[in-house]
Amino acid sequence: MADAVKSDLYKASGVDIDLAVSLLNNVKAKLGAARRPEMLAPIGGFGGLFQIDLSKYREPVMVSSIDGVGTKLMVAMMMEKYDTVGFDIVNHCVNDISVQGAEPVYFMDYIGIGKLRSPLYEQVLSGIADACRAANCAVLGGETAEMPGMYGNDFDLVGVITGIVEKSKIITGEKIHPGHVAIGMGSSGLHTNGFSLARKILFKECGLDVWSKPAELGGMSVGEALLKPHICYYPAIAEAQQKGLALDGIAHITGGGLYDNVPRILPADVDVVFDSSGLPVPPVFKLLVDAGKVDHVEAYRVFNMGVGMVWFVPKCDADAALAICRGKGYTAEVIGEVVPGAGKVTVR
């Protein structure tokens, strides 16, 4: 235990160590519930300890990814609602490694903030804990950096995830060939991409704020539509693997949309032709495209336009793939086909 401090110079400079300890204690129980048996120590050590059960694998491969929430955080600050961004960062990261067939096993977060405050801190970490627990992914640790000279009143949120996949079961996309179909899984909205353009259109060009309720959103406020959490698609992938579905390629539709994310997994000798009417387009996208006069191609590069993930399966397995997705509660449809080509995407 530290000796009593006789001055508050650090606090006066903008960093309150006691507040940080107090706020972390408020959420330690929730963070502690987001754990797995492989964890060897509780949160709070200098490093997180996680023992891999090698008896479960012949050739285990670690899969890691790092990402942030971007300027969606600015919308959260406008609404003073921070729990959903915790789900955003976890679910985005889980999706990024699950497309290669990896099971998420542990997650770590970084919060950089100008002034630590409540309930922002507890809401963010509670969202992270709840999302990790839902994905059976341990919260192994994290870092909170209070830097008043760097962030002002703003904050940033970054997540790092690690998963494991058997080497022979890595999903690469190399088996995709003409005759495969694209199964689209519906998104909840923007997820975590395209917010710089969305904010420009809605707040600057249209003069709306987060509390505005334009008719296009059917009674929902702009802030509510923008803060809808990023969907986690891993449960459907896990079931598809368990049932032996020929899941030959998966693309997580994030920044770059269908045009830039799908080619990342395509062989060089095929193209994919998508039907833009295959899945419902959430109202927020229609509002953005119409109000911002966004070109069709740019819309499908900046935004996900209602498609959060794409599976590639042989046509004969399409019904089984759809049944798995829908059985897990996702909206899913066949939205495209694979044809001979040069690794490109067309959205009609």
Segment 32-54, tens digit of pLDDT: 777 788 888 777 678 888 888 88
Q: Indicate if 67 and 199 belong to the same structural domain.
A: no
- Pick the last residue of a domain from 124, 141, 169: 169
- What are the pLDDT digits (tens) for 240-283? 999 999 999 999 999 999 999 999 999 999 999 999 999 999 99
pLDDT for the residue 13 = 64
Q: Indicate if 79 and 119 belong to the same structural domain.
A: yes
Q: Indicate if 196 and 165 belong to the same structural domain.
A: no
Q: Which of the pair, 184 or 15, is modelled with greater confidence?
A: 184
Res 14 pLDDT > 70: no
Mean pLDDT of the chain: 92
Angle at 153 between CA 152 and CA 159, to 5 degrees: 95
Res 156 pLDDT > 80: yes
- Range list of H helices, the chain: 9-12, 17-33, 72-79, 83-98, 120-134, 148-151, 195-199, 222-226, 234-242, 257-261, 283-292, 296-302, 318-327
- Please report which confidence band the pLDDT of residue 29 belongs to, taking 50, 70 and 90 as the band edges: confident
Q: Indicate if 193 and 326 belong to the same structural domain.
A: yes
Query: Could you tell me if residue 333 is inside a domain?
Result: yes
The CATH number that applies at residue 128 is 3.30.1330.10
pLDDT for the residue 251 = 98
d(CA 89, CA 191): 10
Res 223 pLDDT > 60: yes
Q: Indicate if 144 and 211 belong to the same structural domain.
A: no
Query: Could you tell me if residue 163 is inside a domain?
Result: yes
Query: Could you tell me if residue 226 is inside a domain?
Result: yes
The CATH number that applies at residue 315 is 3.90.650.10
Q: Indicate if 155 and 274 belong to the same structural domain.
A: no
pLDDT for the residue 132 = 96
Residue 275 Cα distances to 184, 256, 258, 280, 348, angstroms: 10, 17, 11, 11, 5
Q: How is residue 316 annotated by DSSP?
A: G
Q: Indicate if 154 and 254 belong to the same structural domain.
A: no
- Please report which confidence band the pLDDT of residue 3 belongs to, taking 50, 70 and 90 as the band edges: low
Q: Indicate if 165 and 185 belong to the same structural domain.
A: no
Q: Indicate if 164 and 184 belong to the same structural domain.
A: no
Query: Could you tell me if residue 1 is inside a domain?
Result: no
Show Cβ contacts of residue 178 under 8 Å, excluding neighbours closer than 6 positions: 270, 338, 339, 340
Of 2-6, 97-101, 142-146, the one with minimum mean pLDDT is: 2-6
Q: Indicate if 315 and 229 belong to the same structural domain.
A: yes
User: Three-state DSSP class for 305?
Assistant: coil
Query: Could you tell me if residue 199 is inside a domain?
Result: yes
pTM: 0.91
Domain that holds residue 105: 9-169
pLDDT for the residue 178 = 97
